[in-house]
A and B are shown apart, each in its own frame.
Chain A
Amino acid sequence: MGPLTSSVASGFSRTSALRGLLIKEAYHIMRDRRTLAVITLMPVLQVILFGYAIRTDVQHVRLAIVDPAPDHETLALRSRFGATDEFRVVAVVPKAADLEPLFQRGTAEEAVVFEPGFAERLGGGLPARVLIVTDATEPNTGSVVAAYALSVIQAYERERLPVLLKPATSGGRAAGERTIRIGAEVRTRFNPTRESSNLFVPGLIAFVLTLISSLMTAISLTREKETGTMETLLVSPLRPWQIIVGKVTPYLAIGFVSVLGVVAEARLVFNVPLRGSLLLLLAEGLLFILVSLSLGILISAQTSSQRVAMLGALVGTMLPTMLLSGFIFPLESMPWPLRVLSNIVPARWFVTVARSIMLKGVGLAYLWQETLVLVAMATMLLALSTRTFRARLE
């Protein structure tokens, strides 16, 4: 048994040793039913929970209407407000001063104020003014509900214009200018219904997948360190890359099941459209999981306790993903240092990819850059974790 025979023998060992590791990892996973259930169901559950918790659409806005002189136009508009799901008309009062107590008590969060002689002015080709008042203690909600009200009025205006213009062609001015003048038109592309779930769910998918994936490898590797089996593996002729491939592959499979789960959920529960290729989305998901799993390995290299590893994986993925991926807070409105920093957050790239595939329906031709970044990240992290394994032997 000299060095020669051992080097020949090592030619065989690669596959069988690796297969042994994979089988072993599969046993670990399957025998720990509870953990398996948690890691496969958690993503699906989290998406549901977060999906409903962080919606920004507003429903049943409590609306007060000030209509000093009701006529057929104001009545028609009022019934429009009453007919939508977004609004619930809580009060109709004759003068604007009556609004104050309604707002203060919180009975109303928004008010629409018509000017007297509304129908008359419209018919006569004069601008009929409507004032929209919102409670802006929550500024975001305030501007969202203002936009909702505006869109109801504009929709009505578009419908009425042809009718109104016929008797009043003599007016001579452009229709848009002389009818209802309030603010600018707000346009939303790709999410015309303003469903926040369309925007959030792809981000949530990224968030949940990165969390679970990095946790899986971080915990499973540190568990081996805690129990002492890692030392035995390191003393064996196994190469660092074999240990890493043996760890990553099984969890990649589990992660893929999670991807299927959350994508199905996005479609079926949140009705997020899937305008692009499902195959591409799944492939990108797999790539993103690989990045996260490698991140978990890297985290586990820094500690030998499962608790610390868990905390590391949570903090290392949750915060950056939440804050710097564009999932909740738009990157465009961040100061430049944060925008630069966001480039190293893997989820930032995947969120773009997932949104683009699901909402815009674009393909690889538009997403090759993001894909390349993710590929580079996976390669780098895997190489780095292989090195930390070797470094610990030094």
Chain B
Amino acid sequence: MTETLAIEAKDLTRRFGGFTACDRITFDVRVGEVFGFLGANGAGKTTAIRMLTGLLAPTSGEATVAGYDVYTQGEAIKRHIGYMSQRFSLYEDLTIAENIRLYGGIYDLSDRQIHDRMRAMLSRLGVGGASDELVRAIPLGWRQKLAFLVALLHEPRIVFLDEPTSGVDPITRRQFWELIYEAASSGTTVFVTTHYMDEAEYCDRISIMVAGRIGAIGTPGDLKARFGTNSIDEVFVRLARPTDGSTN
């Protein structure tokens, strides 16, 4: 209904047997926002992403993505989101152009659209002549940026990035974030998980997950002020190791 919210989650819960991976998480992501989704390994980030992208059914709670309900409108959600998995999502034994054509076909783009967008994409990356290069043969930094642009190929309303910059050098990370900003400024909502705390500072708003719950949510400035620290890193450490009530 509300065009201002890209993602809306309310008491979203997922249990695996007796283990609650996501415990009643509630948050909103606004359209065009860069939303950082932080949390230690095993805090429930991936489970949350999997529920929002339709890979996993929630146990209880509500959520809409791009205005569609995660329980009943999974197919519609899939058409309107882009996704870049933690592991590399392009086929290494296909060329750049073949990968783009494959994903274009999967998302039902016309040959004309695929052709035009491919050209724009390659010139943006400055690799116009490399379209017939096998993905395996290009440097990791390029691949990562390419994978991001391929996730944007069908012009999704929301793009989910699961630790997109893990394992790349600082310069590439910087360039990657430039691409993220470009996407956001053209109206795409960016939902990104990371464990680089400096990257959290680049986000419009962040949420920090701790043991299946959302520990804190707000702009990086807000959170730092609220916890009286001068870096997100410290906010994170405070949340992850609560001192109140425990004796360790």
Contacts and interface: CB of A to CB of B under 8 A. Distances in A.
B80 A1 contact: yes
Contact of A235 (B54, B76, B92, B157): B54
Contact of A393 (B55, B84, B85, B102): B55
Contacts of A31: 93
B59 to A, nearest CB: 11
A237 B73 contact: no
Contacts of A237: 75, 78-79, 106-108
Nearest to B53: A235
Contacts of B56: 393-394
A307 interface: no
B78 A17 contact: no
Nearest to B136: A31
A227 B78 CA distance: 21
Interface in B45-104: 53-57, 68, 73-76, 78-81, 83-94, 98, 101-104
Nearest to A14: B108
A13 interface: yes
A27 B93 contact: yes
Interface string A9-39: 1101100110111011001100110000000
Contact of A227 (B55, B84, B92): B92
A16 to B, nearest CB: 5
A231 B87 contact: yes
A29 to B, nearest CB: 10
B128 interface: no
A228 B147 CA distance: 12
B9 to A, nearest CB: 18
Interface string A276-296: 000000000000000000000
B85 A24 contact: no
B76 A3 contact: yes
B149 to A, nearest CB: 14
Nearest to B49: A235
Nearest to A1: B80
Interface in A221-262: 227-229, 231-238
Interface residues of B, number: 37
Contact of B87 (A6, A21, A228, A236): A228
Nearest to A27: B94
Given A3-B76, A27-B98, A227-B92, A236 B54 contact: no
B221 interface: no
Contacts of B91: 24, 27-28, 227, 229
Contacts of B42: none
B102 A24 contact: yes
A9 B109 CA distance: 9
Given A17-B108, A237-B107, A228 B85 contact: yes
Contacts of A23: 98, 102
A21 B102 contact: yes
B92 A16 contact: no
Most buried by B among A233, A235, A393: A235
Given A6-B76, A235-B53, A20 B105 contact: yes
Nearest to B105: A20
Contact of B108 (A10, A27, A235, A394): A10
A12 B103 CA distance: 15
A16 B84 CA distance: 22
Contact of B89 (A13, A229, A392, A394): A229
Contacts of A32: 93
A14 to B, nearest CB: 9
B87 to A, nearest CB: 3
A245 to B, nearest CB: 14
A16 B101 CA distance: 10
Contacts of A10: 75, 79, 108
A236 B107 contact: yes
B73 A3 contact: yes
Contacts of A392: 55
Given A9-B108, A17-B107, A235-B55, 12 more contacts: A10-B79, A19-B105, A20-B102, A24-B91, A27-B98, A227-B91, A229-B91, A232-B84, A234-B55, A235-B85, A237-B75, A237-B78
19 contacts: A1-B80, A6-B76, A20-B102, A24-B102, A27-B91, A28-B93, A227-B88, A227-B91, A228-B88, A229-B91, A231-B55, A231-B89, A232-B85, A235-B53, A235-B81, A235-B85, A236-B78, A237-B78, A394-B57
Interface of A: 1, 3, 6, 9-10, 12-13, 16-17, 19-21, 23-24, 27-28, 31-32, 227-229, 231-238, 392-394
CB-CB nearest 9 A-B residue pairs: A228-B87, A20-B105, A13-B108, A235-B83, A232-B89, A231-B85, A237-B78, A394-B57, A6-B79
Interface of B: 53-57, 68, 73-76, 78-81, 83-94, 98, 101-108, 157, 160
